[in-house]
Amino acid sequence: MLSLRDLCLALLVVLAWGLNFVMIKWGVEVVPPLLLTAMRYLCAALPMVFFVKRPQVRLGTLLTYGLAIGFAQFGLLFSAIKLGLPAGLASLIIQTQGFFTFGLAMLFLGEKLGRWQVIGATVAIIGIGVIAVERFEVTSLVPLLMVIAAAFFWGVGNIASKRAGQIDMLSFVVWGSLVPIVPLLALSILIEGPSAITAALQNFSLSIAGIVLFNGYAATLVGFGLWSYLLKRYPAALIAPFSLLVPVFGIGFAVLLAGEVITELEIIGSALVFAGLVINVFGPRLMRRRVSV
């Protein structure tokens, strides 16, 4: 049973992660998405990298994690929101990373996929299909596909984390944050262009600085640090379900703070995706209870 303090900490983390999707939406309205992603990881890495020892992992594992999470996942996520995908919807679709993680774990770690994972993934895929039908126009479908790709790369990053073994995960995240900075800046110059970067830097304000700091510290370092603390203190089965609240807060903040409007079909599709995530998390536990009874 969680203490009241730790319950508040868990809620604080998922609230910050949900709010971060609105922060991203506001940020990419002023700063090009790839440049903003680079700023996020520059903030997450510095100055912490000077105070945290390098994790004892293979360089390839660290590079895979940094490129998959920082360069691919968040580069795609920020770009998709810039292209018009609602921040609230993005906060839900990105959670399909759990299904990609299971699939990749089967391929590379020899883990077995349970019946409940298959059922949950099927329901979630149907939900994504409903959302895709609503966004069938190419201009609307592309950012949706980008977030699905981002979820896949999150899964790749999760596999890299698993292969890292029992290490200080905070140092793994801090040092991993160094990896995507240069590739993101290079791609930003190539795709977004020097003029867009110059304009963004000239228009850099305290509000943008706050968004970058929130992304780098609150969402990445503080959020991860508190989450790791909770996972070490309590069983994962008790803490992991709190992550289901991230899209709830994400959609709620997007509607309340960003004025986003979700269509009826998107609500139906989102409900199916959320149901798939719930089945994935709670299905095996319900089955174990039935067997024990």
Mean pLDDT of 181-193: 97
pLDDT digits (tens, 9 = 90+) for 222-278: 888 788 788 777 876 677 778 878 888 998 999 899 998 888 888 898 899 888 888
SS3 235: coil
Q: Is 280 left (phi over 0), alpha (psi -120 to 50) or beta?
A: alpha
> pLDDT tens for residues 192-230?
999 999 999 998 899 999 999 999 999 988 888 788 788
- In contact, 90 and 81? CB cutoff 8 Å: yes
- pLDDT value, residue 121: 82
Interval 14-69: pLDDT, tens: 899 999 999 999 999 999 999 999 999 999 999 899 999 999 999 999 999 999 99
pLDDT digits 0-9 by tens, 84-137? 999 999 998 998 888 888 888 888 888 777 788 788 888 888 988 888 777 666
Cβ contacts of 145 within 8 Å, gap of 6 or more: none
| Cα–Cα distance for residue pair 284/18, rounded to 1 Å | 26
Are 55 and 172 in contact, with CB atoms under 8 Å apart?
yes
pLDDT for the residue numbered 139: 59
Cα–Cα dist 2/85, whole Å: 36
* Rounded Cα gap, residues 293 and 263, in angstroms: 43
Q: Which residue has the higher pLDDT, 184 or 242?
A: 184
Backbone angles phi, psi at 202, to 5 degrees: -70, -30
